[in-house]
Chain A
Amino acid sequence: MESCPSVKNILLLDSEGKRVAVKYYTDDWPTLSAKLAFEKSVFVKTQKATAGAEAEIVMFDGHIVVYKFIQDLHFFVTGGEEENELILASVLQGFTDAVDIILRNNVDKRTALENLDLILLCLDEIVDGGIVLETEGSVIAEKVSAHGIEGATSLAEQTIVQALTTAREHLTKSLLM
């Protein structure tokens, strides 16, 4: 059965492997202890990796995990064994970009915790029940922070349309690379 690309979880851990924010979209890890065990093994398996500007990847126990470290934060996106790695990577890229914008380039654990509400909203906007909602970091960040404009619908709407246009441009550019 051919199915829609699916994300199993997105994890944001600190440099000791502790949770900052996590979101599980499937039942692969039904209990808290199963989740924590998975987080631990992901953390241990990726610990030795050198975090470059490019996302890294590891496969184990039938999962593909793409990941990236920024300062003391470890970003992970997990998918199934058969998943297209580049789709997962684009989700990871969207997440890290959005977090970077939201935290105004101060991507570290402390700032992330201080803005945890925005990080959680961010996770909510990227993937819904495993299905990719949006992969463009700037659009995600826009959606998350577009509040406080009560009733200013037309303005809000315009911003999104604009954002989407820029998003498409970005995408096209990155594809032409």
Chain B
Amino acid sequence: MPRSLAGDLTDPEMAQPYMKKDDDDEDVEYSPFYGIEKGAVLQEARAFHDPQLDARKCSQVITKLLYLLNQGETFTKVEATEVFFAVTKLFQSKDAGLRRLVYLMIKELSPSSDEVIIVTSSLMKDMNSKTDMYRANAIRVLCRIIDGTLLTQIERYLKQAIVDKNPVVASAALVSGIHLLQANPEIVKRWSNEVQEAVQSRFALVQFHGLALLHQIRQNDRLAISKMVSGLTRGSVRSPLAQCLLIRYTSQVIRESSMNTQTSDRPFFDYLESCLRHKSEMVILEAARKIAEMDVTSRELAPAITVLQLFLSSSKPVLRFAAVRTLNKVAMTRPLAVTNCNVDLESLMSDQNRSIATLAITTLLKTGNESSVDRLMKQITNFMSDIADEFKIVVVEAIRSLCLKFPLKYRSMMNFLSNSLREEGGFEYKKAIVDSIVTLISEIPDAKEIGLLYLCEFIEDCEFTYLSSQILHLLGNEGPRTSDPSRYIRYIYNRVILENATVRASAVSTLAKFGALVDALKPRIFVLLRRCLFDTDDEVRDRATLYLQTLDGEVAVGSTEKDVKEFLFGSFDVPLANLEASLKTYEPSEEPFDISLVSREVKSQPLQEKKAPGKKPLAGAPAPAPVPAVDAYQKILSSIPEFSGFGRLFKSSEPVELTEAETEYAINVVKHIYSSHVVLQYNCTNTIPEQLLENVTVYVDATDAEEFSEVCSKPLRSLPYDSPGQIFVAFEKPEHVPATGKFSNVLKFVVKEVDTSTGEVDEDGVEDEYQIEDLEIVSADYMLRVAVSNFRNAWENMDPESERVDEYGLGVRESLAEAVSAVISILGMQPCEGTEVVPKNARSHTCLLSGVFIGDAKVLVRLSFGLSGPKEVAMKLAVRSDDPEVSDKIHEIVASG
């Protein structure tokens, strides 16, 4: 209890911590460990071998050893063994203090199993000693170092210890049980009767440790946990710690039962609520927090919020922190529930503890309403100057989400952000602000011009190259479309004069974008760009030259102006990861690298070649075949002469399994789409060691796929056990037409017996066939998942004439999210900007998709979903595409899907 602490703290010395510093340095001279050295201490440890032990001296030496270990010194294996053996000698001494240090030392040394045997008997003797302190500590040491076999030998004593009348001994045994349960669950589980008795102990901590162990023993048995909780919630638990545990277990039971039964009936909720009136703050906090985490009604939540609100004005910082942290979490999902606390939270903004103040502010930013925003921003401005960067970042992020919530208030918040930009701060902080402004610019059209100007001001005095480049890029995209593009030019050109090469190059590109998009500025931009031709840096000069040439129309990159713009500023639609992979596999040769051959497919996951599970030899099995990347497909296919005339591979699908797992032959198929051909690649694996398959073919019946006609087939000569092989079947289809159809497949082969012991193959084979599942070619197979970096820009750049809009009723759906993912999978397109995620409880959602359709037509889709009626989902589909016919086609796909 703090009886003497208060005295110490009022000591005048405390007021001048810096004056004390000098004293500290001198203190080091007087440290009992000054100049301590490992070698010397190890020498001293020889005293442990003395026949006449000097307990005092030995204690000192052990303390020195412990000091060394505590300072991070390590012993070599030999040293540790030596010390360990020396220490075991000390069991001869009857000095209790020394014995305690011996226990500690043994735990620190964590001896190996053959060393453990040396001390086991000594420790077991202590376990049965009459001194409780020895018993308790010997149990803890022994349980820390023994393994399963030794444990069974001492199990009897441990069970006794659990119900020992001395609480320290009982706790020691219970806590050891908790640790032992990890490695030896079957042994510890046998102690449940004793543990149950301990839970009823009159000693608070025994009860706590008993409850913890009992729960761990039963953790996989929901019914038992539920019973345990219902028994204990009736009020036999006294210790606050045990009470906290019980609250955790109770909330777990409630959570699991509500998951299973789907009813709103929560069996033990009354108990949690009663804990809010407990006398211990620890328990109240635990209960309030658990209630707040639960899916409860506002009425049920209110009492928890009320106690937390009381904690907000506590004199204890820890309690204030705990309360504001919990409220902050509640505010993320249910801001309205917390608004009552706003006054208390506002007073916490000036809390001495900056963690508390920051949490209070971010909570307020979540609960604040539109009218309080201005006042809040003013208060925060005062607060920002004296907190660390990491807290500022949290605040900036909270402000960004607040601004998105109240777009009308963008002015004061933008103002705040720009003021913050001007202040001192590290890179992470500045980046957080810039990111926030960029988000606001793209989300709130009104904020665009003011935001861009703030960013312009920032780059006038920005020490971070990365941020300057990022902002210049943004200016290039957004600036030319503003009401007065010329106002930005000065800021941009200043960069060319004042900054380092990287920023200068970015600035040149930005200037060129203005020149290309704003005709009125073009001549003046040219003047500026010509000056850049004399730059000291290659990249800057090169860019200036390129832009001058192309924009002037002297070089025939493209015939029309539109092509030039596309060439210079079009989005780079090849995923960088794919480009990198292709460049790595490119072998220098006469043939130049062709970027159009790089796959544009966005792979969410690397393809995994599924190998047939089971029946595989465990030892010496070859490593799984290397993952075939998209490029690998391209290589394989182009090496087959029959397919060389098919042109460029448009898309390869994910492998589709045609057999169940654990069957004799594992087969999956990859659909390769060309403009007027489709190649089916059957990956076959033989999982029977006693068989060799020869002349393996797939007979494909395409009667249900009218538009397809088989052109050739490449069978597999032989398919030995566990070495995958491929069969190809190629079809012709009308060019650029996304023909769909269903194919049924039969595997035909000659099977030969193999003697697994000798590896000899029987001469005679038997013809056989094996039915595999049907395969479908769907519209989504003709769609490449290609992401666009900025959907809105891309959308605006597409011809509005190509837009096709229609509405669809999707009928009753499980949820909005389910409907969204269903439509995405029908179309097979890439969701953009994270719009595939539907917020919980949303009534409407907009999803943005992009892709490239066969015939290389870029397609963008805007899906607006809405719930009408209970689960009735309606959808508005807007498509823009390079080719209006493709837009129509997309509607057809959705209409038929």
A164 touches B5 (CB 8 A): no
Question: Which one of A121, A131, A156 contacts B101 once the chains associate, using CB atoms below 8 Å?
Answer: A121
Listed residue (A14, A96, A131, A172) with the most chain B CB atoms within 10 angstroms of its CB:
A131
Q: Which residues 713-731 in B have Cβ within 8 Å of A in the complex?
A: none
A91 to B9: give the CA distance in the assembly, Å.
20
Chain B residue numbers with a CB within 8 Å of A146 are 96, 133
A102 interface residue (CB < 8 Å to B): no
A164 touches B167 (CB 8 A): yes
B486 interface residue (CB < 8 Å to A): no
Assuming the contacts A72-B24, A153-B132, A175-B279, asked whether A4 and B318 have C-beta atoms less than 8 A apart, the reply is no
B808 interface residue (CB < 8 Å to A): no
Q: Which residues 1-59 in B have Cβ within 8 Å of A in the complex?
A: 1-2, 4-9, 11, 13-14, 17, 20-21, 24, 27, 30-33, 59
B355 interface residue (CB < 8 Å to A): yes
What is the distance, in angstroms, from A37's C-beta to the closest C-beta of chain B?
12
What is the distance, in angstroms, from A158's C-beta to the closest C-beta of chain B?
10
A121 to B179: give the CA distance in the assembly, Å.
20
B95 interface residue (CB < 8 Å to A): yes
B131 touches A19 (CB 8 A): no
Q: Which residue of A lies closest to B390 (CB)?
A: A60
Q: Which residues 122-147 in A have Cβ within 8 Å of B in the complex?
A: 124, 128-129, 131-135, 137-138, 143-144, 146-147
Question: Which one of B5, B104, B249 contacts A121 once the chains associate, using CB atoms below 8 Å?
Answer: B104
B175 touches A19 (CB 8 A): no
Assuming the contacts A5-B245, A116-B63, A170-B1, asked whether A53 and B9 have C-beta atoms less than 8 A apart, the reply is yes
Q: Which residue of A lies closest to B168 (CB)?
A: A160
Chain B residue numbers with a CB within 8 Å of A174 are 1
What is the distance, in angstroms, from A86's C-beta to the closest C-beta of chain B?
4
Question: Which one of B5, B30, B70, B212 contacts A70 once the chains associate, using CB atoms below 8 Å?
Answer: B5
Q: Which residues 615-644 in B have Cβ within 8 Å of A in the complex?
A: none
What is the distance, in angstroms, from B364's C-beta to the closest C-beta of chain A?
18
Q: A1-32: contact bitstring with B at CB < 8 Å (1 yes, 0 no)?
A: 11111000000001110010110000000001
A4 touches B9 (CB 8 A): no
- Chain A interface size, as a band, is 35 or more
Assuming the contacts A36-B72, A52-B9, A143-B133, asked whether A2 and B280 have C-beta atoms less than 8 A apart, the reply is no
- Chain B interface size, as a band, is 35 or more
B27 touches A56 (CB 8 A): no
Assuming the contacts A84-B285, A129-B179, A168-B204, asked whether A54 and B280 have C-beta atoms less than 8 A apart, the reply is no
A70 touches B9 (CB 8 A): yes
Main secondary structure of the interface of B (DSSP, over half): helix
A57 touches B171 (CB 8 A): no
A57 touches B317 (CB 8 A): yes
A59 touches B355 (CB 8 A): yes
A89 touches B318 (CB 8 A): yes
B1 touches A97 (CB 8 A): yes
Q: B59-88: contact bitstring with A at CB < 8 Å (1 yes, 0 no)?
A: 100110011001110100000000000000
Q: Which residues 258-297 in B have Cβ within 8 Å of A in the complex?
A: 279-282, 285-286, 289
B321 touches A19 (CB 8 A): no
Assuming the contacts A15-B24, A70-B5, A129-B179, asked whether A150 and B94 have C-beta atoms less than 8 A apart, the reply is yes
Which 10 pairs show the lowest CB-CB distances between chains A and B? Answer: A147-B96, A147-B97, A2-B248, A86-B282, A85-B322, A117-B63, A4-B212, A153-B130, A175-B279, A2-B252
Besides the known contacts A84-B282, A107-B8, 16 further A-B residue pairs in the complex with CB atoms under 8 A apart: A5-B244, A53-B5, A57-B318, A57-B321, A57-B353, A86-B318, A109-B27, A116-B63, A128-B179, A132-B208, A147-B96, A148-B95, A156-B131, A160-B168, A175-B240, A175-B280
